[in-house]
Amino acid sequence: MSSAPGTGLPEAVRALAEADFGAVAQRFRDAGFTVALPASGILTVRSAEPDANRASVLVSVGVHGDETGPIEMVAYLLDALSRTPRALAVDLMVCVGNIDAIRLGKRFIDADLNRMFRAQRGALAGTFEAGRADVLIDATRAFFDGSGPARWHLDLHTAIRPSYYPMFAIVPELIADGARERLIGWMGEAGIEAIIMNPASAGTYSYFTAEHLGAAGTTVELGRVGTLGQNDLSQFAAASGALDRLLRGQPAQQANAAPRVFATAQSIMKLSDAFSMSVGRETWNFTPMHKGDVIAQDGETVYTVQHDEELVVFPNPDVRVGLRAGIMVVRIS
Ligand SMILES: [Zn+2]
């Protein structure tokens, strides 16, 4: 069974996985929108008359090529929306992040694309993904340049390991209060159970748009990694519904429950090849650890739990030296 896009996929899914926007772009163009394909994998659909009150929404998928669930979800949503194009109530940018990795069914070609959205790339500067990030940064700047103050960026992922909260999101702390409240409200509607407030950039796409382009940007983890064409889309029903209402400018529905909010207690950085971790890649996200527990060691540096309880998220001792090997979080609301 191949995970690469190919025959047998529903047409809408095949098209988005290959960043083939032809049919969707034409429907919006025929309806009078200003449509552009500024780079491979990127579609923008704008109102013909500029309107500062119109929200600008960037939806990105496939930044990690093996995270196919959001590609399927957005493919069906975009295809349906394009068939009633005048229902689109926002300026929209759709970004298919790592097309080459998607084609190969891989997470990335050379290195993690979602660590490249920063000026300092060190040893990663010459990688395939560094070049791709430059393309995405230019197109994203151009999209938000001159748009009104209501700016959203939903970067949709799926997690590579199980999680005590299968649907969760990372939100940069620097997003202004009002925009942050609207974003968190949307997340409740989307079935997001937990939010991690992040105080510092790890080079992610959504932190970049929040920090530099004034967007309410967030990295959303929607369930588990699956094979393109074989994802259980029922797990994305709430998220898909909430995204559809956002793009159509429809009022939010009552959230099932407000997401739990966590603060970042510490980031575990891999400083050298001597790095070792007491939790591994198989550890579930939001696994609790207790005060004094050793999280990781790196030569002289020992990372221990400082609060009565901290929960570990994204533990991965195999990241490159200089990158984040995990986050410890504490619940704040
Ligand atoms: Zn991802």
Q: How far apart are CA 190 and CA 208, in angstroms?
A: 23
User: How far is it, in rounded angstroms, from Cα 84 to Cα 91?
Assistant: 15
Residue pLDDT, tens place only, 253-298: 877 788 999 999 999 999 999 999 999 888 999 999 999 999 999 9
Q: How far, in Å, is the centroid of ligand 1 from the Cα of 161?
A: 11
Q: What is the pTM of this model?
A: 0.94
Does the annotation mark 282 as catalytic? Answer: no
Contact 37, 24 (CB under 8 A): no
Average pLDDT score over residue span 11-32? 97
Percent of the chain exceeding pLDDT 90 equals: 84
Centre of ligand 1 to C-alpha 321, Å, is: 19
The mean of the pLDDT values for the chain is 94
Ligand 1 center to residue 72 CA distance, Å?
A: 15
Can you state the percent helix, strand and coil of the chain, rounding each to 5?
30, 30, 40
| Ligand 1 center to 53 CA (angstroms) | 32
C-alpha 30 to ligand 1 mean position (Å): 34
Query: 129, 189, 221, 310: which is the annotated catalytic residue?
Result: 221
pLDDT number for residue 6: 52
**What percentage of the chain reaches a pLDDT higher than 70?**
98
pLDDT at 2: 42
Task: Quote the CA–CA distance of 193 and 286 in Å, as a whole number.
Answer: 12
Give the full edge-to-edge strand order of the sheet including 294-298.
276-277, 294-298, 301-304
Cα(159) to ligand 1 centroid in Å equals 6
pLDDT confidence bin for 83, thresholds 50/70/90:
very high
Taking CA atoms, 181 is separated from 217, 249, 254, 264, in Å, by 12, 17, 15, 18
DSSP per residue, 270-326: --STT-EESS-TTSPBTEEEETT-EEEEETTEEEE--SSEEEEES--TTSPTTSEEE
